[in-house]
Amino acid sequence: MARPAQCRTSIKSADAAVKSAAGFVYWVLAAAAATGGAWQLNNSLDDSGTDLLSGIAQASGETFILLDPPVFFGTGIYADIQGTNVTLTVGYD
């Protein structure tokens, strides 16, 4: 699958929809404050769907994840962020 020349981005620091329709996730930047924490991207419009991507943001750090191939979300893209320390930046279309 060819990557688009540009994609949309969404920054989330709490549970929220990234996209309320089907789409692809091309990359994720997970950043955390002092204690770090877990995160997931669900295939849903709320927090009820299947986790397609998940990880743990390390304390006081950042991790960039390039998805090749991109991951398809058939229903929607929903960020599930546990706690208050994690910020996700999601590149999607």
Per-residue model confidence as pLDDT tens digits over 19-52: 999 999 999 999 998 888 999 999 999 989 999 9
Phi-psi region of 34 (alpha: psi -120 to 50; beta: other; left: phi over 0): alpha
Q: Does the residue 85 lie in any domain?
A: yes
The domain of 31 spans: 8-92
Per the structure, the count of domains in the chain is 1
What's at 47, amino acid-wise? Answer: D
What is the rounded CA–CA span in Å between residue 27 and residue 7?
10
Burial of 18 from C-beta contacts in 10 A (0-12 / 13-18 / 19+): buried
Q: Does the residue 3 lie in any domain?
A: no
Q: Does the residue 83 lie in any domain?
A: yes
The reported pLDDT for the residue numbered 24 is: 97
Query: What average pLDDT does range 58-73 have in this prediction?
Result: 95
CATH code for the domain of 14: 2.60.120
Query: Residues, the chain, total?
Result: 93
